[in-house]
A and B are shown apart, each in its own frame.
Chain A
């Protein structure tokens, strides 16, 4: 089967999974949670398969390269990283609470990849600048970072939502303790996923500058993409410092994940509207 076709199915699978996570949250029936997780795993499997097929297809075309070399492929890989990381977390914390807020991001990314104008779906051979072993490491670390920040963003949204719900239900007979333990878990998750993303982004920037040292003659060129990745990194650095030094927790950290995520999006997509050395992604 054609990988493009599989990927369009995957987009719908993620959408269905999101809808089921939503049902689970609203109807409070774990059955929908099982269905949602199952779909997400199925989607991840098909997604992986499609990327491998695309990889092989590039070899059949005679040049052969990892499928992470243009905007379309990077979007597909971004969605893959988000789902993979999300499922890992779901499995670890044994709770499906986050699904409603993270899985839709993966769906939007996939949908954007397939319908946005100017996103080229074809497999192209690598131009000389991209013919490097650093390509895989650099892209992999950057997108793992982005994915971790996306998960943190999902946690942040859920945190704010839960908190709001809690203040709305002023009735003391409702379970404030249960909610506050959820908030605690979310706070820890925000911190953990942010720090994971922070490390990956740092590795992405460093592998990128090692590559730039070989390709562009300078490890740092003050290219808009480089600057914005640094800005993103600094935003998360401020966030983590605020936690360690100032003891920020909860709502402020949740707000910061949103600020950081906007910066991530700008680094990833917004910069493409500026002249950049990175214009192949």
Chain B
């Protein structure tokens, strides 16, 4: 009955598992919780039903031995020797003590019984494993009821205290705010990504309380929430870094996005960034500027790799005014680089079930170790006075690995027979 129970409850979740390939959200469905509940209930009922049996087994002392122990005993397990009881007993005892420790002894009418046991506690290993499984399930339920899963998308420099809950459950305000100071992505020479790193600041009451980096595999915890590096991207607005030289003097670097305007030191001119291109006509990064004075408007492109382009196309920049960065005299512009402004996609998680799941996992492993590596074994040596001398009968029981124990006892008997003959 127990097995039918186990199989009946184990199989449905499995079928459901395979159906996951088509059914997308089964694991958050009520049906799944019901199945998990049934499974846990079954596990508990089975364990509770069987525990008294295990306790009874545990409490049964090794003496008196189970009835029928010496029925059908193989002939090699019976050793008859013509020596005296006293001598045999002492010999057997010392032999056993050299091979197995802590042998107990009980006097009988016709002789005595020597016995030992080990690994009695392993009877409970299976319940430890079941407890572990239940704790994991409990942890999962706690996590899904009290936990929180959200996304957070921050551009470099952006600060927010609102996170977007998963599964379209809306927004969630935090009582602190997060700022992304910088996002870095590095690549190997082969173009494979090497590192994604977000540098975050956590701000409470206008003060930066904590700063740190979030990397894949290295989340950051703050105020009970864990922040994970999940994705990244480039914001639509790229910024150009440019300078101009005025009669040999280089200006400080200016950072400007598309549509930004900045003042120039001559003719009360204003420069506006019209376009920022990552790769203009296969010539690399380029920016189109509009310079406006009281009198006129000048537009031209400036390329970052102007020297390389000029080397390949001599005279291009003087021949085409639109490509001449020195068109607005006396200034000569140069483009230092374009920065795509990154945003970082963070996953924000709170899962109070984790400690339960972890503890459950550890308990599970410990219990399995007990079950599979420790066996409850008992062995009995019955020494009886016999017309022919002393008869020794050897028997053993193990609820697991019985075959191995029997083989060991066979070896032990052969060895004892040889020793006693000597």
Contact = CB atoms under 8 A, between A and B. Distances in A.
Given A234-B14, A238-B6, A129 B217 contact: yes
The size bracket of the interface on A is 35 or more
A64 interface: no
A242 B3 CA distance: 7
Interface in A42-98: 63
Nearest to B6: A241
Interface string B348-383: 010100100110010011001101100000000000
Interface string B311-325: 000000000000000
Given A219-B357, A237-B10, A125 B188 contact: yes
Contacts, number: 96
Contact of B368 (A202, A215, A222): A202
A203 B404 CA distance: 26
B190 A124 contact: yes
A222 B20 contact: yes
Classify chain B: how many residues form its interface, as a range: 35 or more
Contacts of A234: 10, 13-14
Given A199-B369, A230-B17, A231-B17, A214 B218 contact: yes
A215 B216 contact: yes
Interface stretch (B192-200, B238-246, B390-398): B192-200
A121 to B, nearest CB: 15
A203 B13 CA distance: 21
B146 to A, nearest CB: 15
Contacts of B21: 224, 274
Contacts of A274: 21
Interface string A120-147: 0000110111011000000000000000
Contacts of A219: 351, 354, 357
B111 interface: no
Contacts of A227: 17, 20
A188 B7 CA distance: 23
Nearest to B50: A245
Interface in A211-255: 213-220, 222, 224, 227-228, 230-231, 234, 237-238, 241-242, 244-246
A208 B53 CA distance: 36
B27 interface: yes
Given A129-B216, A222-B20, A213 B3 contact: no
Contact of B404 (A128, A188, A213, A237): A188
A224 B357 CA distance: 20
B216 A245 contact: no
Contacts of B17: 227-228, 230-231
B141 interface: no
A209 B361 contact: yes
Interface string B117-149: 000000000100000000000001000000001
A215 B217 contact: yes
Contacts of A131: 216-217
Contacts of B228: 215-217
A98 to B, nearest CB: 17
What are the nearest 6 A-B pairs in CB distance?
A128-B216, A217-B228, A206-B361, A217-B347, A132-B217, A195-B372
